[in-house]
Structure 1
Amino acid sequence: MSERLLFWGSGSIPCWKPMLVLAEKGIDYESKQISFSEKGHKGPEVTALNPRGQVPTFKDGETVICESNAICFWLESMYSKQGTELIPSDPKEKAKVLQKAFESAENMQTKAMQGVLYYYWRTKEEDRKEETIKENLDNCRNELTVWDKYLGECGHDFVAGKQFTLADVFFFPFLAWAWRMSLDFNKFPNIKKYFESVRERPSVKATWPPHWNEGEAQPEKMAYLKSL
């Protein structure tokens, strides 16, 4: 049994990010998948390590880390010489990676997920306002346009340059989730090219949310994303 342990849930962006890091670094760990529908994240195994009852929750020996981004940075710090170098040592390259990583974590979260998806899911149909939906869609479209331009200007295969880095670990799961929710990438050609390329990466294939392989999402529920 590995001294490293990760509790995670399928389809969770916060869970997917450290799983990508672990795969890229080639770090052995015990995988403990929980069921959100059965509230596995509130079970005694998780809450014994994380009083908030949230995943991902990661344990390495006596060290416990319960925040997705913190896990990613800690793993890269502790295992920097193993597997893929996710944060370059060169100061200028490091700055690019950190900039894009935090930029995607902040803006894709607030403008794509919270503004569009969370509003749709968490607001009753009779309470949804057309002007709010339009504003949210405009914000999401503008954000995706920014990233499409970044990828076009970059001239490389990845968000922050020639190599897969922590910036891609932070950015790709948001795109994959949007794809799952029926977003049409044909309107964002550079994003589409990036998504199709990174999707074939071994670490992505190895950590692809298992329930996504069991059947289609329910695109009719998010069909309005196609208006982007």
Structure 2
Amino acid sequence: MAANKDMFLWWGSGSPPCWKPMLVLAEKEMWESLPNKLISFDKKENKEADILAANPRGQVPTFKDGSLVVNESNAICMYLEEKYSNDSNRLLPVDVEERSQVYWRMFESGNIQSNITVPIVYSIWNTKPEDRNQAELDEKFTKAKEELGYWERTLTGRSYLVGDRFTMADVFFYPFLAFLVRLGATLREFPALKQYYDLISQRPTVQATWPPHWKEGSTAPILAAL
């Protein structure tokens, strides 16, 4: 399915919220033909006029489908799924009970952000080394391991979060996990998570949407303890 020429996506490299709708578009074979713009966060291009006209918050992803504007990554994913799904690219099961399990994991995946990314990653990025409280940071890493342990138990014996195929649950969860690995998480204590990460990372749609700047080199392994 080719993308509508009136579609447009503004996105940022390495942003899990941006990656989610990109994955949905790729799964529906729309990504390669989609008009889009990669913006630079460093240059604050998300605050430029074209984005602000569509999204007054100046955030990405920002998506247009003709005259329709859809903002917020989860909303974009759901819109694309509801409008452009068919039997070969469906990411939400038809069965209501199975779909409920996908919804559960979709919305639960935000705990990675709230329990690991925000308290650890953003804290390290925004605090000078000499101002960091190591005891507090150690406690945050302990809680982060508890969060990863939960997902380890969830994925033990499974290839995907729900059922036997890639679903919207994986779309929502994988970018958060990949972001942790990018920042040095080895997942050495979490073999099921590592196996899951390796499997999904090789998916063609993931490779097609892989953050461009991640291909250019590594970054400081601030999450090596994970």
Q: State if a TM-score over 0.5 links the two structures.
A: yes
Which of 193, 197, 211 aligns to 2:199? It is 197
Counterpart contact for 1:46–1:53, Cα < 8 Å: yes
Partner of 1:86: 91
Q: Which has the higher helix share?
A: 1
Cα drift, residue 156 of structure 1? 2.8
Alignment partner, residue 133 of structure 1: 137
Alpha-carbon RMSD: 1.3
Cα distance, 1:227 vs structure 2:
2.5
Partner of 2:224: 226
Determine the structure 2 residue equivalent to 1:101: 106
Gaps of 5+ in 2: none
Matching residue's letter, 1:170: F
1:34 partner amino acid: I
Structure 2 Cα separation of the partners of residues 32 and 202 of structure 1: 21
Secondary structure in structure 2 of the residue aligned to 1:140 = helix
2:128 aligned residue: 124
- Structure-1 separation of matches of 2:218 and 2:91: 32
Q: The residue matched to 1:48 in structure 2 has which SS?
A: helix
Give the gaps of 5 or more residues in structure 1: none
TM-score, normalised to structure 2, is 0.94
Alignment of 1:210-221 (within 5 A): 210-219=212-221
Residue 115 (structure 1) aligns with? 119
Q: Within the alignment, does 1:32 sit opposite 2:37 as a pair?
A: yes
Alpha-carbon contact 2:46-2:58 (below 8 Å) kept: yes
Q: Percent identity?
A: 47
Contact 1:115 1:140 in 2 (8 A): no
In 1, Cα distance between equivalents of 2:96 and 2:191: 31
SS in 2 for 1:167: helix
- The alignment's TM-score, normalised by the length of structure 1, stands at 0.93
1:71 and 1:199 mapped to 2: Cα distance? 22
Number of corresponding residues: 221
Mapped contact 2:120–2:141 kept (Cα < 8 A): yes
Between the aligned partners of 2:216 and 2:186, the Cα distance in structure 1 is 21
Q: Deviations along 1:107-158, whole A, 9 cap, x unmatched? A: 1110110121111111222322122101210111000001011000xx3311
Q: Which moved more, 1:85-94 or 1:26-35?
A: 26-35
Instruction: Supply the distance in 1 between the matched residues of 2:51 and 2:87 (Cα, whole angstroms).
Output: 28
Q: 1:215 to 1:113 in 2, by over 3 A?
A: same
Shift of 1:164: 0.5
> What SS does the aligned partner of 1:58 have?
strand
Q: Is the 8 A contact 2:183 2:224 kept in 1?
A: no
